[in-house]
Amino acid sequence: MSTRRKFLFSSAAASLATLAGKKMFAAIPENTIKNDPIAISTWDFGREANAEAWKTLSSGGSALDAVEAGVKIPEADPNNNTVGYGGFPDREGHVTLDACIMDEQYRCGSVMCLEHIKHPISVARLVMEKTPHVMLVGEGALQFALANGFHKENLLTPESEKAWKEWLKESKYEPVINIENQQHLPGGPYNHDTIGMLAMDAKGQLSGACTTSGMAFKMRGRVGDSPIIGAGLYVDNAIGAATATGVGEEVIRIVGSFLVVELMRQGYTPKAACKAAVERIVSRNPAKAKTIQVGFLAMNKKGVYGAYALQKGFTYSVKNGKEEKIMKAESKW
Ligand code: SD4
């Protein structure tokens, strides 16, 4: 190619890139911190989980170990009514837990509708590491956990049981927007929600974990997005990672976390990708989208992160070598 042709070619390419950039990234300020490692988690209670993950990340440990250790904090917290021990039960009084984990090699593991085990995330990790499978559910997941040294525990705390019995009086089954940040619900000063955590370690490797007791007082056997790879969590070490919180059915319908990662692959910033996924939910059923909450949280391979939700009130927690903070996500409404 002649020098002049080369010049014209590269100018045209640059203009196109600028145009594409304008279209995709316009007016979306990004929260950018580029010093690895980093842990980000859904909701304000992600702060304690991030702090635990940070012990691993700051000592040169892997993102996989960090996310597992991190989400075990809310799993063990009896005052957190939407994750692990102390989680609100299903409508028949059973606490059933869902969790999944994914690492930088596209390895993943998941448990669904697991009862009596306080740390479903660790069982999910064992499914990933010890079996040729991705998912184990219900009785089979419990059997696998018990065979691998986990112990049966009663996960229904007196507070959760009281809340369930209160709920039974009306048996109103309806997701409540931002239930996780409402202060006056039974069971504690804050009624929290699913934790999804994404981390990048000192080697720049990404991993993620997601764990929940699901929607409060759900139908027996109901499973949401959280333990479904691609819906509640997805990690592509070449591109980035994403996780979701809120009404799982709407996240599953659009394969939300995978969608966010694929949009980042196309060049969207994490926040723009989360926003586009939220818009996808709105486009499917605008009337319904107004009545529910869904939030996405994402991080790309450079440690740039962002979030977006349907409704106001979605918060997320960030921890890196420089700072620890809780952010308010922007929202559609
Ligand atoms: C689910 N996404 O089971 C989870 C739970 C949740 O607000 O985040 N609820 O659908």
What is the CATH number for 172?
Answer: 3.60.20.30
Q: Which residue among 245, 251, 314 has the greatest number of ligand 1 atoms within 8 angstroms of its CB, and so is best to mutate?
A: 245
- Residue found under tokens 């992600």: 46
- Express each pLDDT in 162-179 by its tens digit: 999 998 888 766 655 544
Q: Are 260 and 216 in contact (CB under 8 A)?
A: no
Distance CA 288, CA 115 (A): 31
Asked if residue 5 belongs to a domain, the reply is no
Distance CA 208, CA 315 (A): 18
pTM for the full model? 0.86
The answer to whether 230 is a known ligand-binding residue is: no
Three-state SS at 243: strand
Active-site hit among 56, 82, 96, 194? 194
Residue spans of the chain under pLDDT 70: 1-35, 172-192
Distance CA 107, CA 278 (A): 27
Calculate how far, in angstroms, residue 270's C-alpha sits from the geometric centre of ligand 1. Answer: 21
Asked if residue 125 belongs to a domain, the reply is yes
Calculate how far, in angstroms, residue 247's C-alpha sits from the geometric centre of ligand 1. Answer: 5
Calculate how far, in angstroms, residue 224's C-alpha sits from the geometric centre of ligand 1. Answer: 6
Calculate how far, in angstroms, residue 116's C-alpha sits from the geometric centre of ligand 1. Answer: 19
Strands 240-246 and 294-300 come out as antiparallel
Quote the pLDDT of residue 181.
Answer: 41
Asked if residue 16 belongs to a domain, the reply is no
Asked if residue 283 belongs to a domain, the reply is yes
Which residues are CB-neighbours of 77 under 8 A, at least 6 positions away?
Answer: 45, 48, 83, 84, 85, 86
194 is catalytic: yes
Q: Which atom of ligand 1 is nearest to the CA of 247?
A: 10
Supply the range of the domain harboring residue 292.
28-331
Asked if residue 10 belongs to a domain, the reply is no
Distance CA 193, CA 57 (A): 24
The answer to whether 91 is a known ligand-binding residue is: no
Q: Which residue among 75, 180, 225, 291 has the greatest number of ligand 1 atoms within 8 angstroms of its CB, and so is best to mutate?
A: 225
85: tokens are 């021990």
The answer to whether 246 is a known ligand-binding residue is: yes
Quote the pLDDT of residue 81.
Answer: 86
- Express each pLDDT in 84-139 by its tens digit: 999 999 999 999 999 999 999 999 999 999 999 999 999 999 999 999 999 999 99
What is the number of structural domains in the chain? 1
Three-state SS at 185: coil
- For the chain, where are the alpha helices, taking DSSP H only? 3-25, 46-57, 63-76, 120-130, 138-147, 158-170, 248-253, 256-265, 270-284, 286-289
Q: Which atom of ligand 1 is nearest to the CA of 222?
A: 3
Please report, to the nearest 10 degrees, the dihedral formed by the alpha carbons of residues 39, 113, 217, 250 taken in order.
60
Asked if residue 15 belongs to a domain, the reply is no
Distance CA 298, CA 320 (A): 15
Strands 97-102 and 195-200 come out as unpaired
Asked if residue 14 belongs to a domain, the reply is no
Quote the pLDDT of residue 11.
Answer: 42
Asked if residue 130 belongs to a domain, the reply is yes
